[in-house]
Amino acid sequence: MNERIRELAEQPDPLKEAVYEFFTKYLNRVEYSDSDRPFNPITIGCCRVMMLQPLGKLLDKMRELSGAGPNPLEKLKHENN
């Protein structure tokens, strides 16, 4: 039984890979405007104000669990301040 669990743990996780790709290829993408300001061209929005913070926390958790790392734009913002 333990060996079967080990085998399953060593297999690639397609959901984790998909979430990783979602962040690294799309949400973490940084482009520069004509005035040379960095921005994320792809964003996720919500028209329910009460849902913004929980959604942001969920996305941060998904980003962390997938191994995608922080949004590079956040690092750029901190470097410029």
Q: pTM to 2 decimals?
A: 0.71
- Residue, of 39 and 1, whose pLDDT is higher: 39
Q: What confidence tens digit (pLDDT) does each residue in 39-64 have? A: 999 999 999 999 999 999 999 999 99
Contacts of 79 (CB under 8 A, 6+ apart): none
> Where exactly are the structural domains of the chain?
15-80
What one-character-per-residue DSSP string does 37-51 give? -EE-SS----S-HHH
What one-character-per-residue DSSP string does 18-39 give? HHHHIIIIIIT--EE-TTS-EE
Round to whole Å and give the CA distance between 55 and 46. 8
Round to whole Å and give the CA distance between 78 and 76. 5
